[in-house]
Amino acid sequence: MTTVLYNHQIEDQALKAEKIAIIGYGSQGHAHALNLKESGFDVVVGLRKGKSWDKAEKDGVDVTTVPEAVKQAKVVMVLLPDEYQPKIYEEQIAPHLEAGDALAFAHGFNIHFSQIQPPDNVDVFLVAPKGPGHLVRRTYEDGAGVPALFGIYQDATGKATETALAYAKGVGAGRAGILETSFQEETETDLFGEQAVLCGGVTSLIKAGFETLTEAGYQPEVAYFECMHEMKLIVDLLYEGGLEGMRYSISDTAQWGDFVSGPRVVDADTKARMKDILSDIQTGRFAHGWILENQANRPQFNAINTRENQHEIEVVGRKLRELMPFVKKPVNTK
């Protein structure tokens, strides 16, 4: 059985005596910086001037430029978008790393696919929360946490594991469970999960359900409530009690439909396509496409994003959510 670690098993005094630089203050960056600070760690945020800089200042954290933050810190956590990390690393981080420092990531993409090649004399580890950054922050504030994986790529000081675990505890993961992984396992499973299940899988399932109903002449509002709004309520039950817990709350009619119709939606062919997706990730084919897409200034990403935001489910959803003031405002509009 894999060992799952919790707060009481983790020593964090050594890391509390050092400075931690959080590079980036977006979804993960703001959560790591604020949670670590409130857990008693010494944090500085490294940024360029702009939206995130203003937000970090408003939140009361120390902010400076990326090179200055790296110079001040012993541990440098890179929470920039994956696609910009190699260039910023080369120009603003690498020149200021010293022997015995630690370079850290929340996702293994750039190390695993060799886009960043750190020097031998620094520790390299990852602490990857298994949840969106805004919920890493929200759960921490609620006294809970999001589980995290940690992995060591390079242990130059002999203390990389101790540092990574103390860091994971500081962001609140030790309340939920910390598991050891490798950069390869984290990168491949994370990419697979977000493509096939959590993001790509779920959004495609929701849209296909919505389109099936509206194309059959049902009202878009009814289709929205059925296929999008109720998804959160069902997923909450899955989060709390697994499949059995969710099935306890639904009707027996729904449960019978789940048993006989679910496997008609996700069948052996779907699983075969999931295996193709995993294979593209393992061989580097997906990474290659994403790196090239960014080098071309994202023509496909931008076109698809515009089209997705105009989908009828989005138009009707915006209207209906306005009528439900208790629904939390999306984090991008706060």
Ligand X SMILES: CC[C@](O)(C(C)=O)C(=O)O
- Active-site residue (options: 30, 32, 96, 107): 107
Does 175 show up as a binding residue in the annotation?
no
Q: Which of 46/131 has CB closer to ligand X?
A: 131
Is residue 82 part of the contact set for ligand NDP (CB under 6 A)?
yes
Picked from ligand X, ligand NDP, none, the partner binding residue 240 (CB below 5 to 8 A depending on kind) is none
Q: Which of 26, 67, 86, 132 binds ligand X (CB under 6 A)?
A: 132
Give 12 or 82: the residue with its C-beta nearer to ligand NDP: 82
Q: Which does 286 bind (CB under 5 to 8 A by kind): ligand NDP, ligand X, none?
A: none
Binding mask 92-131 for ligand NDP (x = CB under 6 A): --------------xx--------------------xx--
Show the site string, 21-60: x = touches ligand X by CB under 6 A, - = not.
----------------------------------------
Stretch that binds ligand X, among 58-66, 153-161, 193-201, 247-255 (CB under 6 A): 193-201
CB of 58 to ligand NDP, least distance (A): 13
Q: Which residue, 10 or 116, has its beta carbon nearer to ligand NDP?
A: 116
Instruction: Pick one of 66, 97, 148, 149: the residue that binds ligand NDP (CB under 6 A).
Output: 66
Asked if 80 and 46 touch (Cβ cutoff 8 Å), the reply is: no
Report residue 15 as tokens: 């890391």
Binding mask 184-203 for ligand NDP (x = CB under 6 A): --------------------
Q: Is 288 annotated as catalytic?
A: no
Helix (H), strand (E), coil (C) string for the chain: CCCEECHHHCCCHHHHCCEEEEECCCHHHHHHHHHHHHCCCEEEEEECCCHHHHHHHHCCCEEEEHHHHHHHCCEEEECCCHHHHHHHHHHHHHHHCCCCCEEEECCCHHHHCCCCCCCCCCEEEEEEECCCHHHHHHHHHCCCCCCEEEEEEECCCCCHHHHHHHHHHHCCHHHCCEEECCHHHHHHHHHHHHHHHHCHHHHHHHHHHHHHHHHCCCCHHHHHHHHHHHHHHHHHHHHHHHHHHHHHHCCHHHHHHHHHHHHHHCCHHHHHHHHHHHHHHHCCHHHHHHHHHHHCCCHHHHHHHHHHHCCHHHHHHHHHHHCCCCCCCCHHHC
**Residue 168 Cβ vs ligand NDP, minimum distance, rounded to whole Å:** 13
Q: Which residues, at least 6 apart from 220, have a Cβ–Cβ distance to it below 8 Å?
A: 210, 214, 312, 313, 316
Rounded Cα distance between 205 and 191, Å, is: 18
* Catalytic center residues: 107
Q: Which residues belong to the annotated binding site for NADP(+)?
A: 25-28, 48, 52, 133
- Residue stretches of the annotated binding site: 25-28, 48, 52, 133, 190, 194, 226, 230, 251
User: Which residues of the chain form contacts with ligand X (CB under 6 A)?
Assistant: 131-132, 190, 194, 198-199
Q: Return binding residues for substrate.
A: 251
Residues that bind ligand NDP (CB under 6 A): 24-29, 47-48, 50-52, 66, 79-82, 84, 88, 106-107, 128-129, 132-133
